[in-house]
Structure 1
């Protein structure tokens, strides 16, 4: 059986200086690629594009969708104006990824959202985002190395995530936003001790999970984190 192809979303930036000054480049952290490989999948990067027909082909070509982390989501998408603390947004990325999620879920393909990807999954289904955490008491934007587990996450006992890790798991944390109103069809399956939502799962999809932390950065220091990617990739097995 061929290994499943896992599409990983990308971000973009403008180069500065030299002959490539002002050139758009698309990229993704190598940690996502390595996590998919270690879990038994074949990573395929999905560049940001606008053509609808091509986006449909992107999803048709892969067996699962991994929504990577990155910048903030445009608040207008979930019916709000920008508030103090909102960071950099990338409208073309938002538009692309919202369509990818809808197509993936409609075709029954598994979706895993990480950090921004968790929030994007929620927004795609009609939820909203807290644009800047002000009431949180736990440190959610740690300055420590990426593979350091900074705080505790409490898991719902009957969730897919609890089936992987049990009642609690120690995670890293690099975000200043979080899910606010949970979208129809999703349910909260993990929280930090200050109540901030740390994970959601789809109620009926074969696999649609969003986690607010970055497990891809922890798979070598804490191999148990690889189990999430393995569950995701196994759901995406090619026929």
Structure 2
């Protein structure tokens, strides 16, 4: 059986490498390395503004990861920006929302990582809390700069997520926002302070969002689960 192809959404940012400094489509290499380690073939998906592009991509993929990144534009969920909500990317929001529509239409397995979970919730008609420290009065979920927070999450017994990662696990996170409401998704993991750290859709399809970054640590269960679901999807075509 061929290795399943997993699409990974990317940033579009100013970047520097070698003698070049210009706009670039990029993603931390840990994402692709983690997919490869789990037995998948990573394929980067930069923002595209072409009618029908998301449908064409979804038809060729076996699985999809909505990657981490900038805040979702508050207008997408009818909210005014919090003072700490900055730097949203309308092109990326539109692309990833279109990809999620296309993925649902064909039953494609999906994993949302950090921002990816938030995009999934917003697409479903949910809302976000725009600055977690306002709620929990600490900065452990995003210590600042390039540092990841280290927290422990507890999963919901009987959930798909619990079957993949166990009852508890230590995770690396970097989010100052979180999901408040999530129509159509079950809450399946929380931090000790009550912050929602994962959600999953009901039914047989693999459709999971996590606030942490499984690509940065040994989280074989979650990524292996996505790749297995992608392989089964490919076999059933």
TM-score by length of 1: 0.90
Partner residue, 1:97: 96
1:157 matched to which residue of 2?
157
Equivalent position of 1:29 in the other structure: 28
Whether the aligned pair in 2 keeps the contact of 1:3 and 1:42 (CA below 8 Å) is: yes
Residue 222 of structure 2 corresponds to residue 228 of structure 1 = yes
What corresponds to 2:167 in structure 1? 167
Structure-1 separation of matches of 2:222 and 2:15: 34
Shift, 1:204, TM fit: 2.2
Q: Deviations over 1:169-211 (max 9, x none)?
A: 11112110000112x2101001111111100000125100001
CA distance in 2, matches of 1:92, 1:64: 22
Instruction: Write the distance in 2 (CA, Å) between the matches of 1:57 and 1:165.
Output: 32
1:140 aligns with 2:141: yes
**Conserved? CA contact 1:149–1:170, under 8 Å:** no
Tell whether the 8 Å contact from 2:128 to 2:178 is kept in structure 1 after alignment.
yes
Instruction: Give 2:201's aligned residue.
Output: 202
Q: Pick the structure with more strand per residue.
A: 2
Gaps of 5+ in 2: none
Root-mean-square deviation (CA, aligned residues, Å) is 2.1
Task: Look up the SS of the partner of 2:97 in the other structure.
Answer: helix
Deviations 1:54-112 (A, max 9, x none): 22111111111101100100010011111211021000000000010111012111000
Q: CA deviation at 1:12?
A: 0.8
Q: Do 2:149 and 2:174's aligned partners in 1 also have CA atoms closer than 8 Å?
A: no
Superposition pairs for residues 81-96 of structure 1, below 5 Å?
A: 81-96=80-95
Alignment of 1:26-105 (within 5 A): 26-105=25-104
Whether contact under 8 Å (2:5, 2:43) holds in the other structure is: yes
Whether the aligned pair in 2 keeps the contact of 1:67 and 1:114 (CA below 8 Å) is: yes
Deviation at 1:125, TM superposition (A): 1.2
Displacement of 1:19 in angstroms is: 8.3
Which runs of 4 or more aligned residues in structure 1 lie more than 6 Å from their structure 2 counterparts after TM superposition?
Answer: 16-19
Q: Secondary structure at the match of 1:36?
A: helix
Tell me, yes or no, if the aligned pair for 1:8 and 1:46 is still in contact at 8 Å: yes
SS at 1:190 equivalent: strand
Query: Tell me, what secondary structure is at the counterpart of 2:52?
Result: helix
The residue that corresponds to 1:222 in the other structure is none
